[in-house]
């Protein structure tokens, strides 16, 4: 009855509070917004949540809600209010967030945000003002405009080519997310009491953490309906209400569920998630493998998805970094989600990897014939090629300066009982063929990588040893 204390004592934001604007709303005579504002203000008062309330006002006539409400205010882009509301709600779960939207905003440009937020079901409250017209832009057709109703963009009346009016309360009630959906009106004292109660209840459900609530208010826009206020009220009752039946559309009894802990800022927790370790790894290298290159070694690992080329590449990079060198690994895959090609460019540098790509590698580890055929000719003179002789039957002719090691990765791994360790066999072969790092450097990297799957360590160590043995056998 008396002015709700939620309204500012003076509307400083309304034209700097000058003259009458300091105490009058910007709404036209007979507009429904004023009453909806009043009921909202009264509900905030009654629930004692003024300090916790954040009102979201998106584009439309009600974008200036923040002129009047002495609460936290956030003004949003056209249609985006419900997701802005979510951003506020998840930032401070104790805040009470109200998204106050018109029909163009909610039912047209923001439809995706409206529906997805309702379905998400997080406790926010949406007040939807349906006046069947665009107000702020000057009387264009809204998604809620009635059939036959004229507007500046439906000058001969809305017809079948404009489609039927959107019944938002029913649409929202049809979703699983919301707990409470009601459509109310303002045209007489009885409806106003219902509207006030509905808005109060919708906010209370949020305060109690029970879920998303949606109140559609059939409101008057005399200016753009080109009627006097009394006739507009009558029009809402006689023309709008039959299309948009009043009443509760959904009312679930739900226990409070929205309880969120404050975010964690414990350093140890964060580091453990990151997989960080405090222990200095054991170093086995005496220095950078300058017998391969003075500063920077480039490797290519190539195979099909599932060959383990990327894991092997990652282990080389880890091994190098554990030894205090720099390393990079760039994977590249074919477009297929499974199978297809799988290539890895690896660099190991004493100080800093300059160019991480490996278009002309010094070392190639090839898991199949196409990879060997494709990348074999790119290997630099004096380089090393190691390939899976279990699957490559015919090797291409390479520059005679290149050392070639055919090693049956797959055969050995299969004999060990797990074909997936063929990439570890390959790493063993790489170690023996190039001596890029000592054996222990690789074994340390393998053990660290398998620290959560300790049972697999012996098998992997065996595979690695077999890779070394195969190369040694070739060299004899």
Partner 1 sequence: MALKERPKPFLLPEYCKGCGRCLDACAKDCITLSDQINPLTGLVPVELDLANCNACGLCMDACPEPYGLRPAHEGEIQDFELEDPAKIFGVKPSDALEPVDIPSEVLPLPRTEPLVIKGTYASALGALIAGCRHVYGYPITPSTEGAELMAKFLPKLDGTFIQAVSEVAAVNMMYGTAGAGLPTMTFTSSPGFSLMLEGVSYMIGAELPGVFVDVMRGGPGLGNIAPEQSDIKLACHGLGHGNTQAITLAPSTPQEMLDLTILAFELSFKYRNPVVILGDGYLGQMTGKVQLPESMIKPGIPKWAVYGDAMHRKNLISSIFLTETDLEAHNVHLNAKYEAMKVEARAETFLCEDAEVVLIACNTPARTAKGAVQDLRNQGIKAGLFRPITLWPFPVEDLKEAIRGAERLVVVEASAGQLEDEVRLALSKAGVRQFPEIESVRRMGGILPQQNEIMAQVLGQKEVRA
136 binds partner 1 (CB under 8 A): no
Q: How far is the CB of 261 from partner 1 (least distance, A)?
A: 4
Where are any strands of DSSP class E within 108-195?
125-130, 180-185
Q: Which is nearer to partner 1, 160 or 279 (CB)?
A: 279
* C-alpha to C-alpha distance for 247 and 184, rounded to whole angstroms: 6
| 164 DSSP 8-state letter | P
13 binds partner 1 (CB under 8 A): yes
Instruction: Please give the residues from 314 up to 373 whose contact with partner 1 meets the rule CB under 8 A.
Output: 314, 317-318, 321, 326-332, 353-357, 359
Q: Which is nearer to partner 1, 294 or 400 (CB)?
A: 294
* C-alpha to C-alpha distance for 320 and 437, rounded to whole angstroms: 8
Q: How far is the CB of 366 from partner 1 (least distance, A)?
A: 19
163 binds partner 1 (CB under 8 A): no
User: How many other C-beta atoms lie within 10 A of the C-beta of residue 271?
Assistant: 12
Largest CA distance in the chain: 105
* Helix, coil or strand: residue 429: helix
Q: How far is the CB of 471 from partner 1 (least distance, A)?
A: 26
48 binds partner 1 (CB under 8 A): no
177 binds partner 1 (CB under 8 A): no
Judged by CB under 8 A, the stretch of 112-120, 127-135, 244-252, 396-404 that binds partner 1 is: 112-120
Q: Which is nearer to partner 1, 37 or 210 (CB)?
A: 37
Place of tokens 């209840």: 201
Instruction: Please give the residues from 278 up to 307 whose contact with partner 1 meets the rule CB under 8 A.
Output: 278-281
90 binds partner 1 (CB under 8 A): yes
Contacts of residue 104, Cβ cutoff 8 Å, sequence gap at least 6: 60, 78, 134, 137, 140, 142, 143
440 binds partner 1 (CB under 8 A): no
Please answer whether residues 78 and 103 qualify as being in contact, where contact means their C-beta atoms are separated by less than 8 angstroms.
Answer: no
Judged by CB under 8 A, the stretch of 17-25, 148-156, 173-181, 237-245 that binds partner 1 is: 17-25
Which string of DSSP letters, residue by residue, matches 242-285?
HHS--EEEEE---------PPPP--HHHHHHHHT---SPPP---
Q: How far is the CB of 233 from partner 1 (least distance, A)?
A: 7
Q: Which is nearer to partner 1, 269 or 396 (CB)?
A: 269
| 239 DSSP 8-state letter | I
Work out whether strand 326-333 and strand 341-349 pair parallel, antiparallel, or are unpaired: antiparallel
Judged by CB under 8 A, the stretch of 16-24, 171-179, 403-411, 468-476 that binds partner 1 is: 16-24
Q: How far is the CB of 209 from partner 1 (least distance, A)?
A: 14
């Amino acid at each position: 009855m008396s002015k709700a204390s939620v309204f500012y004592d003076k509307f400083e934001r309304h034209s700097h509070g000058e003259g009458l604007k300091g105490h009058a709303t910007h709404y036209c005579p007979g507009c429904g917004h004023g009453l909806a504002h009043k009921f909202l203000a009264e509900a905030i008062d009654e629930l004692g949540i003024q300090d916790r309330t954040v009102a979201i006002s998106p584009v439309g006539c009600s974008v200036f809600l923040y002129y009047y409400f002495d609460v936290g205010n956030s003004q949003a882009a056209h249609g985006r209010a419900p997701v802005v509301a979510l951003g506020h709600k998840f930032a401070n779960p104790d805040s009470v967030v109200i998204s106050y939207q018109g029909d163009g905003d909610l039912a047209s440009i923001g439809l995706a945000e409206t529906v997805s937020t309702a379905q998400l079901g997080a406790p926010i409250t949406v007040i939807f003002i349906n006046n069947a017209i665009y107000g702020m832009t000057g009387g264009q057709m809204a998604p809620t405009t009635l059939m036959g109703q004229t507007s500046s963009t439906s000058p001969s009346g809305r017809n079948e080519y404009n489609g039927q009016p959107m019944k938002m309360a029913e649409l929202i009630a049809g979703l699983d997310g919301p707990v409470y959906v009601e459509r109310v009106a303002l045209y007489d004292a009885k409806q106003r009491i219902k509207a006030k109660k509905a808005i109060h209840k919708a906010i209370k459900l949020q305060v109690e953490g029970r879920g998303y609530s949606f109140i559609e208010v059939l409101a008057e826009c005399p200016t753009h309906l080109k009627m006097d206020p009394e006739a507009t009220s009558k029009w809402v009752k006689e023309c709008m209400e039959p299309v948009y039946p009043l009443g509760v559309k959904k009312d679930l009894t739900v226990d409070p569920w929205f309880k969120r802990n404050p975010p964690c800022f414990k350093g140890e927790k964060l580091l453990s998630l990151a997989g960080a370790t405090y222990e200095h790894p054991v170093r086995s290298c005496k220095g950078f493998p300058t017998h391969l290159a003075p500063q920077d070694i480039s490797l290519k690992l190539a195979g099909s998805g599932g060959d383990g080329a990327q894991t092997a590449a990652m282990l080389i990079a880890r091994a190098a970094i554990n030894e205090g060198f720099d390393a990079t690994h760039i994977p590249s895959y074919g477009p297929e989600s499974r199978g297809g090609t799988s290539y890895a460019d690896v660099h190991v540098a004493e100080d800093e990897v300059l160019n991480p790509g490996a278009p002309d590698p010094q070392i190639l580890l090839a898991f199949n014939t196409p990879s060997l055929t494709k990348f074999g000719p790119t290997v630099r003179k004096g380089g090393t090629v190691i390939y899976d002789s279990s699957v490559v039957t015919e090797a291409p002719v390479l520059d005679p300066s290149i050392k070639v090691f055919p090693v049956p990765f797959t055969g050995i791994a299969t004999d060990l009982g797990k074909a997936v360790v063929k990439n570890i066999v390959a790493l063993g072969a790489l170690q023996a063929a190039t001596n890029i790092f000592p054996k222990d450097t690789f074994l340390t990297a393998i053990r660290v990588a398998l620290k959560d799957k300790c049972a697999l360590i012996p098998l992997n160590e065996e595979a690695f040893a077999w890779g070394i043995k195969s190369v040694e056998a070739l060299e004899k």
